[in-house]
Structure 1
Amino acid sequence: MDQHVKTLAHLFLDGEEDKALHFTEELLNEYSLMSFYEAIITPAMYYIGELWETNQISVADEHLATAICDFVISQIKGKETVRSGNDQSSGRALFFGMEEEQHYIGLKMVSESFKAHGYQVRYLGPNLSLEHSLIQINKFKPEVIGLSAALSYRLPGLKEIIKRFSELEWKPLIMIGGRMARKFALEELEADQVMIVKDLHHLSKWFEEGREGLINETS
């Protein structure tokens, strides 16, 4: 494991928010925001999850680490936008996690990445029902709707959400991410209007190549 990953993970676990933020700011001299998320934050949180699964840390430890990670992401979120020089909006994007899904750090990183690329973003957090999400979606009318899901038994619910979103009159791009997208073959769900996002590298490529190019490549 990269030493930077382990160092940041233990700063999260120790509740050292100021030290974690300072360490992050130093690393951002070497990494872009997207590569930092992919190479450092994501494996750090996976490592913390493994410690919890093997009973080396408590639920309280895991919650503290998540809170400090959230703090760090929130503090650095504006810096990449300034660096990128995006003065005009690229569009609107909305993100949320499926009902009963509690993990949200990955979803928040994606949300902040869209902000860094000039999008107007509404981040609704985890554990949101389809009907409540549609209230905000119909008000905001985003060009991109990002949805996070983790557990395979939620697939029928995910299919229903995709169906409902696909029927929206302005035809938004529906991005599906989270553990389910990484761990399971969801190619059957992909379509002109639906994109499965495996990881942040995949998303970064989409930003670089544009919506149509990557959808055609992955369909």
Structure 2
Amino acid sequence: MIDDDLKCFVRYLLDADEQKAWEFLYSYIIDGKDSLYIFEQVLTPALRYIGYLWEENAISVADEHIASSICHFLMTKYSVVSETGKTNVAKDKPKAMFTCVEGEEHALGLKMVAALFDEYGWDTRLMGSNTPTTDIIAFANRWRPDIICLSLSTVYSIPHLIQTIKALEKLSFNPQIIIGGRVISIYTLDEFISENLKIFKDLTSLNEWLRTNKEHQNKYVTN
């Protein structure tokens, strides 16, 4: 579970109190906490606790949606205040696109992932939730990213994940495929996943991978 401070933060989210929720989050910025800490130690556990409350019938779907909406607001405001993504990089940035698979509505975690890529100097495109496989493929063919990140939070999205992976693996420019999300952190999906994909179960391991690749001359797409 989470501590009392985070429970207060969750209450601000559920009450749609943008001001108090932002003041709570901003206190971590003042204390010098980086994006990884704020995402992994504040927002993620708060969202998981909200999910737990919903599973226990302590809150409604409407409550969960309100809290998620406030979190999206906080993420947008944080990106402006912290100036994430405004790094000095070479003109030809590596490119990464981010999308939830078809049927998957939870995109906040994916938004955090995209923010981390921004901070490491990537050119990013965030497609958000519930993107049809055909549209994912069409955009990928048009933009030709180095990396394609897929997210899923429910087991019901696994068939769409498998379908999307199979389609992406047929792309002629052979992008690196990264998979993450709540389901990945809970279940083992090795039987569904081919060996040439990367799986990250948390933001800490993803951040370490980004940092290591940054130190190796931006050769991001090596396994």
Is 2:195 the counterpart of 1:191? yes
* Equivalent pair of 2:97/2:126 in contact (CA under 8 Å): yes
**Identity across matched positions, percent:** 33
Q: Which residue identity does 1:171 align to in structure 2?
A: N
* Equivalent pair of 2:101/2:151 in contact (CA under 8 Å): yes
* Equivalent pair of 1:150/1:179 in contact (CA under 8 Å): yes
Aligned match of 1:59 in 48, 61, 81? 61
* Equivalent pair of 2:10/2:50 in contact (CA under 8 Å): yes
Aligned to 2:132: 129
Gaps of 5+ in 2: none
Q: Which residue identity does 1:161 align to in structure 2?
A: T
State the 1:85 CA deviation.
6.4
Q: In the superposition, relative to structure 1, how do residues 197 and 190 fare at CA in structure 2: closer, same or farther (>3 Å)?
A: farther
* Equivalent pair of 1:92/1:142 in contact (CA under 8 Å): yes
Q: TM-score, normalised by structure 1?
A: 0.88
Q: Which residue identity does 1:112 align to in structure 2?
A: A
Q: Which residue identity does 1:91 align to in structure 2?
A: P
CA distance in 2, matches of 1:171, 1:78: 33
Aligned to 1:205: 208
Aligned to 1:74: 76
* Equivalent pair of 1:92/1:143 in contact (CA under 8 Å): yes
Give CA-to-partner distance per residue, 1:184-211, whole Å, 9 cap, x none: 112342523x101101111111112228
Higher fraction of helix = 1
Give CA-to-partner distance per residue, 1:117-163, whole Å, 9 cap, x none: 22111111111111011121112111111111233354343223222
CA distance in 2, matches of 1:36, 1:190: 32
CA distance in 1, matches of 2:4, 2:70: 19
* Equivalent pair of 1:186/1:196 in contact (CA under 8 Å): no
* Equivalent pair of 2:102/2:157 in contact (CA under 8 Å): no
SS in 1 for 2:185: helix
The farther-off stretch of 85-94 and 206-215 is 206-215
CA distance in 1, matches of 2:77, 2:98: 19
Q: Which residue identity does 2:185 align to in structure 1?
A: R
SS in 2 for 1:88: coil
Is 2:19 the counterpart of 1:27? no
Q: In the superposition, relative to structure 1, how do residues 153 and 45 fare at CA in structure 2: closer, same or farther (>3 Å)?
A: closer
Q: Which residue identity does 1:35 align to in structure 2?
A: Y
CA distance in 1, matches of 2:60, 2:155: 25
Q: In the superposition, relative to structure 1, how do residues 215 and 139 fare at CA in structure 2: closer, same or farther (>3 Å)?
A: closer
Is 2:162 the counterpart of 1:162? no
Aligned to 2:12: 11
